[in-house]
């Protein structure tokens, strides 16, 4: 086991490319982009066999925040990642290595958002908070409509015959409009927006494997989503809408148009991402006919330490969330990135 430098680029890339369980959040592309955008250093724990061949890896971002504390997170700003290994024994070795690095850095916790669940001293599993939603894409547009439950299908059909239009791309205008919409959306939810540099870094790093789809009322952007494309799966990742989006059914058009866009790219699967159990987004994804799959995460804590609390639904943050919703958008956009970069 070792902590490998980021310079082992070709070997890292090859291992992720060959491993069937790899996600974009295991990739060097993701890890380096997060570091570049946020300053959170990426440590990669590796395992090798007797011949020196890479047999497992675990990328960890050292996320530090004066508000939320610090943790090694696999991976930062991701909904997946965690241990990637050839077998359970190697996975256990990587888990031990992650805890050792945390101890050496004086970091109180390690948070893994996917992969094998480690066992042993300090490790615990956390379930019942999040669920993931994914299913295969249908063969064509009409079949896609029929895969949506009746009530939601009616809303999508209304959106399809509206005057709204859809654009896709990666240029500066699409990026500007996406950030404008996303920032307003998360302010309305009472949470701080991520820095725009984060979105730019991911788009720049992933190239054609990341793009933006925006729904417009005339020229005005009202819903927008930044998506990753990974091994035939489209992953709408950072998306949102303005106050008018719901009234105009812009979100319905956005996600259905993204399914079409993915099929046109040769995609075969739609990963709607994770949502907190019992929330509006959780119910919304079920309304589209996606079945929730419980997500189980793992956390290591140093003796006597408490886990970070970064959940905006926590009672601890209720007052802050209510106040944040009332901030002028310009103020939320100026302050938010300073806070959000510490959520990781």
Adjacent-strand bridge partners of 126: 297
On whether both 282 and 333 belong to a single domain, the answer is no
Res 1 pLDDT > 80: no
Write out pLDDT tens, residues 85-132.
Answer: 999 999 999 999 999 999 999 999 999 999 999 998 999 999 999 999
- Which of the residue ranges 135-139, 198-202, 318-322 would you say has the lowest mean pLDDT? 318-322
On whether both 200 and 328 belong to a single domain, the answer is no
Write out pLDDT tens, residues 302-326.
Answer: 999 888 766 655 555 456 656 767 7
For position 320, what pLDDT does the model report? Answer: 64
On whether both 185 and 306 belong to a single domain, the answer is no
For position 23, what pLDDT does the model report? Answer: 98
Query: How many angstroms separate the CA atoms of 98 and 90, rounded?
Result: 12
What CATH number does residue 258 fall under?
3.40.630.30
On whether both 229 and 158 belong to a single domain, the answer is yes
Pairing of strands 2-4, 54-65: unpaired
The parent domain of residue 256 ranges over 132-294
Q: Which residue has the higher pLDDT, 206 or 319?
A: 206
On whether both 113 and 20 belong to a single domain, the answer is yes
Query: How many CA atoms, within 13 angstroms, populate the side-chain half-sphere of residue 342?
Result: 14
Structurally, the chain folds into a number of domains equal to: 2
Band (213; pLDDT cuts 50, 70, 90):
very high
Task: Please identify, among 274, 294, 314, the residue that sits at the C-terminal boundary of a domain.
Answer: 294
On whether both 146 and 118 belong to a single domain, the answer is no
Write out pLDDT tens, residues 242-300.
Answer: 999 999 999 999 999 999 999 999 999 999 999 999 999 999 999 999 999 999 999 99
Query: How many angstroms separate the CA atoms of 168 and 221, rounded?
Result: 12
On whether both 81 and 144 belong to a single domain, the answer is no
């Amino acid at each position: 086991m070792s902590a490998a430098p980021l310079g082992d680029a070709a070997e890292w890339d090859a291992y992720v490319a060959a491993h069937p369980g790899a996600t974009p959040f295991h990739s060097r592309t993701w890890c380096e982009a997060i570091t570049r955008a946020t300053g959170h250093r990426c440590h990669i724990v590796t395992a090798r066999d007797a011949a020196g061949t890479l047999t497992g890896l675990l990328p960890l971002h050292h996320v530090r925040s004066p508000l939320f504390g610090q943790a090694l997170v696999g991976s930062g700003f991701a909904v997946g990642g965690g241990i990637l290994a050839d077998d359970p024994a190697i996975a256990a070795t990587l888990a031990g290595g992650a805890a050792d690095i945390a101890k050496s850095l004086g970091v109180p916790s390690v948070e893994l958002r996917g992969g094998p669940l480690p066992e042993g001293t300090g490790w615990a599993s956390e379930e019942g908070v999040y669920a993931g939603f994914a299913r295969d894409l249908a063969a064509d547009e009409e079949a896609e409509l029929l895969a949506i439950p009746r009530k939601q299908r009616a809303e999508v059909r209304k959106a399809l015959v509206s005057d709204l239009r859809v654009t896709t791309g990666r240029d500066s205008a699409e990026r500007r409009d996406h950030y404008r919409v996303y920032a307003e959306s998360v302010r309305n939810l009472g949470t701080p927006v991520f820095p725009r540099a984060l979105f730019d870094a991911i788009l720049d790093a992933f190239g054609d494997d990341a793009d933006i789809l925006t729904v417009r009322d005339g020229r005005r952007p009202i819903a927008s989503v930044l998506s990753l494309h990974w091994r035939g799966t489209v992953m709408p990742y950072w998306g949102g809408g303005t106050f008018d989006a719901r009234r105009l059914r812009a979100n319905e058009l956005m996600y259905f148009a993204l399914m079409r866009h993915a099929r046109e790219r040769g995609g075969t699967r739609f990963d709607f991402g994770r949502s907190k159990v019992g929330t509006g987004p959780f119910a919304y994804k079920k309304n589209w006919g996606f079945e929730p799959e419980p997500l189980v995460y793992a956390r290591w804590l140093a003796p006597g330490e408490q886990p970070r609390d970064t959940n905006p639904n926590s009672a601890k943050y209720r007052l802050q969330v209510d106040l944040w919703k009332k901030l002028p958008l310009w103020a939320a956009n100026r302050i938010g990135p300073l806070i959000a970069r510490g959520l990781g």
